[in-house]
């Protein structure tokens, strides 16, 4: 079952699937090799090392060791009684609870309702989801949105002051600064010995304060964040992207401004930065088509001349000695076109051989236009990059944007205008959908696999009740530990589904063996709990201890899997404790109901003893 749950993970195509796939391969190979070792190597060494017994009263024929006690054996001799005392005390508690539930209706119903209540209560503990963890890189990125109209020289001077401030910090190793069009961009590489998240967050706070001191303007917002391990770019830290598409740029800008105002009012939003900026000065040449037609010309004739003046046109090819070829580009000198009036007086030849000025066949206007025009599915579009606080879950912000901004606005828009989430928000939705499908598929595979092993559809159904118990523990662990509920943490739920059913399988299998040997249902179940409580606790405790470094370790890269480890620890703990109580009671109810119904219908071959005889006959034929 542990191997089976990884089959759906291999087919996840999203970005998180790349991480899951490597982890799935690693765990699958580890489990497979350990299983082979357990049934081959371990018995061989056990026969050699455990061949001679140390007993107080040896029986005739026993191989008794006469060598002196080793150091480890002396330690065991001192420690074992203490652990046996604790183990027997815990076992007696479980024996008492299970025995009461098996022999009385009220304790059984109480146990069932308590476990069901815990499960539904845990659903209220589910936190809002994140996409991928931020990680703990020793790299900080920052941007500062400058006020409109600030000169490049002034921005560069202020940036030099901030660079000196940053380099004076003891945690900083190296840094770089870039002066972009209206947003200085810088990066800070932290020293390797600075790994604690709290210290890095303190450094980010200092850098933010420096940015506000150096640029003391009310509309300046420094955006400084620890570089995430998984990122699409360096435009912002934790962010949500919103795409707005439509045919008209002015209407798009109006929509972007309206969305920006509403988004800034949401709790958790730091900054909204639209990609559409109509503040770029440009010259627009509008041909007079009627005048051009009178002269036997077209708008393309004017466009070619304007393109040649501004961008240049390749007119010929120059082939030098040695076979090298060079494009010859015709373009106006910078001294020829200094202002719009120079453009207006440029002469254009007509088909009749005359020449006319551009201003005679076109109007030249100075306007503000976009720096660049983006397109989404061949429609003009703009993207709003919404930077949010690190403590605000991505799923919560997505819900707020949809419910408070997008949903009320969409009915008011013309049909040709579209608004939708993109980037990490869209990835989170699609990945969560893929993980839910993978989880359900994993449960189906586990159920069918157990149905084939037990030759029954009813026993696997009882065993599957251990999965909700694991989910209860996982949700509780995530809430108590305060870790992110990201898509890597969700992988822990799929992993738990394949692990926790093993404990219930042991209880059911030993119970059925006892019933087929002639024991009553109650005696068989009590025997199963008595025989399997120790190995169940041993395997669960070792698994929990092995997950502790992953769950609570610190350092670069360790916190990527903190949530997964916490989910597995919580799920294993609660599932182990309650599986030993709930599964025996459910199994008792099912066996009693099935045998009573079979006897009432006169079909004794359907009872457990009848099933045992039928299976024995099938095995004999095989």
Mean pLDDT of the chain: 80
Q: How far apart are CA 199 and CA 144, in angstroms?
A: 22
How does DSSP classify residue 402? I
CA distances to 69, 108, 325, 512 from 115, rounded to whole Å, are 47, 11, 80, 24
Handedness of CA 540, 566, 114, 592 (dihedral sign): negative
Residues 148, 595: Cα–Cα separation, whole Å: 82
Q: Return the higher-pLDDT residue of 409 and 55.
A: 409
- Predicted confidence at residue 55, as pLDDT, reads 55
pLDDT of residue 147: 64
How high is the pLDDT of residue 384? 87
The segment(s) of the chain belonging to CATH 1.20.1640.10 are 71-126+432-621
pLDDT at site 237: 57
pLDDT band at 570 (very low <50, low <70, confident <90, very high): very high
Residue 63 has pLDDT above 80, yes or no: no
Give yes or no for a contact between 567 and 496, defined as CB atoms under 8 angstroms apart: yes
CB 125 within 8 A of CB 475: yes
The continuous run of DSSP H or E covering 381 comes out as strand 379-388
Gap between the Cα atoms of 46 and 34, Å rounded: 16
Specify the fold of 238-271+380-422: Alpha-Beta Plaits (3.30.70)
Q: Does residue 222 have a pLDDT over 80? A: no
Using pLDDT thresholds of 50, 70 and 90, give the confidence band for residue 56.
low
Tell me: pLDDT of 67 over 60.
no
Confidence class of residue 470 from pLDDT cuts 50, 70 and 90? very high
8 Å CB contact between 16 and 130: no
Helix axes 608-621, 562-600, angle to 10 degrees: 100
How remote is the C-alpha of 349 from its chain's centroid? 63
- Where along the chain do the CATH 3.30.2090.10 domains lie? 280-369
Other C-beta atoms closer than 10 Å to the C-beta of 346 total 17
Mean pLDDT of 238-249: 84
Q: What residues does 318 pair with on adjacent strands?
A: 326
pLDDT above 60 for 120:
yes
Ramachandran region, residue 551 (left: φ > 0; alpha: ψ -120 to 50; beta: rest): alpha
Mean pLDDT calculated for residue range 528-536: 88
What pLDDT, on the 0 to 100 scale, is given for residue 380?
Answer: 82
Q: Which of 255, 292, 248, 256 is nearest to 272 (CA)?
A: 256
Taking only the tens place, the pLDDT of each residue in 298-329 is 888 888 888 887 777 887 888 877 778 888 88
CATH 3.40.50.620 is the classification of domain 280-369: no
The whole-number pLDDT of residue 150 equals 64
Three-state SS for 5?
coil
Residue 186, classed as helix, strand or coil, is: strand
Residue range(s) occupied by CATH 3.30.70.1430 in the chain: 138-227, 238-271+380-422
Residue 276 has phi, psi (to 5 degrees) of -85, 115
| Architecture of the domain spanning 71-126+432-621 | Up-down Bundle (1.20)
> Which range (113-122, 168-177, 277-286, 428-437) has the least confidence?
277-286
Q: Give me the pLDDT at residue 373, please.
A: 64
pLDDT bucket at 129, cuts 50 / 70 / 90: confident
Neighbours of 575 (CB within 10 A): 28
pLDDT above 70 coverage of the chain, percent: 84
User: CA-CA distance, 2 to 27, in Å (whole number)?
Assistant: 9
pLDDT tens digits for range 376-393: 777 888 888 888 887 888
Between residues 441 and 207, the one the model is more confident about: 441
Q: What integer is the mean pLDDT of 266-290? A: 78
Q: What is the structure's pLDDT at 476?
A: 92
Strand ranges (E), 145-293: 172-179, 184-190, 222-226, 239-245, 269-274, 280-287
Q: How confident is the model at residue 474 (pLDDT cuts 50, 70, 90)?
A: very high
Strand pairing class (222-226; 184-190)? unpaired
Which segments of 124-196 does DSSP mark as H helices, in order?
152-167
Homologous superfamily of domain range 138-227: Multidrug efflux transporter AcrB pore domain (3.30.70.1430)
In this prediction the pTM is 0.74
> pLDDT at residue 123 above 60?
yes
Give the least confident one: 165-169, 180-184, 206-210, 223-227: 180-184
* pLDDT higher than threshold 90 for residue 569: yes
The mean pLDDT of 563-591, rounded to a whole number, is 89
**What is the structure's pLDDT at 464?**
92
Query: Which parts of 265-387 fold into alpha helices (H)?
Result: 289-294, 299-310, 340-344, 358-361
Residue 152 pLDDT? 67
**pLDDT classification of 475: cutoffs 50, 70, 90:** very high
Please report the pLDDT score of residue 571 as a whole number: 92
What mean pLDDT do residues 114-137 have? 83
CA atoms within 13 A on the CB side of 206: 17
């Amino acid at each position: 079952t542990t191997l089976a749950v990884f089959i759906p993970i291999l087919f996840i195509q999203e970005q998180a699937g790349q991480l899951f796939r490597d982890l799935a391969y690693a765990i699958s190979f580890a489990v497979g090799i350990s299983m082979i070792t357990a049934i081959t190597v371990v018995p061989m060494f056990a026969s050699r090392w455990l061949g001679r017994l140390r007993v107080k009263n040896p029986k005739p024929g026993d191989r008794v060791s006469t060598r002196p006690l080793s150091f480890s054996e002396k330690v065991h001799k001192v420690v074992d009684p203490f652990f046996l005392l604790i183990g027997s005390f815990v076992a007696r508690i479980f024996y008492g609870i299970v025995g009461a539930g098996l022999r009385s209706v009220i304790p059984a119903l109480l146990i069932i309702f308590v476990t069901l209540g815990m499960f539904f209560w845990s659903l209220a503990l589910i936190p809002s989801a994140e996409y991928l963890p931020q990680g703990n890189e020793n790299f900080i990125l920052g941007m500062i949105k400058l006020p409109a109209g600030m000169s490049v020289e002034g921005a560069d001077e202020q940036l030099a002051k901030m660079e000196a401030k940053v380099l004076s910090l003891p945690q900083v190793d190296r840094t770089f600064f870039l002066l972009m069009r209206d947003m200085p961009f810088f990066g800070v590489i932290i020293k390797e010995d600075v790994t604690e998240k709290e210290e890095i967050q303190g450094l980010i706070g200092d850098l933010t304060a420096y940015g506000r001191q150096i640029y003391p303007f009310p509309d300046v917002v420094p955006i400084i964040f620890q570089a995430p391990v998984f990122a699409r770019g360096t435009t912002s830290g934790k962010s949500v992207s919103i795409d707005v598409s439509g045919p008209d740029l002015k209407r798009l800008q109006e929509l972007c401004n309206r969305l920006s105002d509403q988004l800034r009012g949401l709790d958790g939003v730091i900054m909204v930065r639209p990609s559409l900026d109509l503040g770029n000065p440009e010259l627009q040449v509008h041909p007079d088509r009627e005048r051009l037609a009178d002269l036997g010309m077209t708008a393309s004739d004017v466009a070619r001349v304007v393109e040649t003046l501004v961008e240049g046109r390749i007119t010929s090819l120059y082939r030098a000695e040695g076979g090298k070829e060079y494009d010859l580009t015709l373009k106006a000198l910078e001294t020829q076109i200094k202002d719009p009036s120079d453009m207006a007086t440029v002469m254009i030849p007509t088909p009749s051989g005359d020449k006319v000025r551009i201003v005679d066949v076109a109007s030249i206007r100075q306007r503000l236009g976009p720096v660049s025009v983006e397109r989404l599915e061949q429609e003009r579009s703009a993207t709003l990059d919404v930077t949010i606080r690190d403590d605000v879950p991505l799923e919560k912000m997505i819900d707020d944007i949809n419910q408070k901004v997008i949903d009320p606005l969409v009915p008011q828009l013309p049909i040709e205008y579209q608004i939708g989430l993109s980037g990490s928000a869209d990835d989170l939705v699609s990945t969560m959908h893929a993980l839910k499908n993978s989880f359900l598929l994993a449960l189906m595979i586990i159920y069918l696999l157990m149905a084939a092993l037990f030759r029954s559809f009813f026993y696997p159904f009882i065993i599957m009740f251990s999965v909700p118990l694991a989910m209860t523990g996982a949700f509780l662990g995530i809430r108590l530990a305060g870790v992110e509920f990201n898509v890597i943490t969700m992988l822990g739920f799929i992993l738990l589904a394949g692990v926790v059913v093993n404990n219930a399988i042991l209880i059911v299998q030993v119970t059925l063996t006892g019933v087929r040997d002639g024991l009553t249902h109650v005696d068989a179940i009590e025997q199963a709990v008595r025989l399997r409580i120790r190995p169940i606790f041993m395997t669960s405790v070792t698994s929990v201890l092995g997950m502790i470094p992953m769950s609570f370790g610190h350092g670069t890269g360790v916190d990527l899997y903190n949530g997964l480890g916490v989910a597995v620890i919580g799920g294993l703990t609660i599932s182990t404790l309650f599986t030993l109580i709930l599964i025996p009671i459910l199994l008792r109810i099912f066996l009693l109901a099935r045998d009573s119904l079979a006897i009432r219908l006169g079909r004794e071959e359907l009872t457990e003893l009848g099933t045992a005889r039928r299976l024995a006959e099938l095995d004999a034929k095989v």
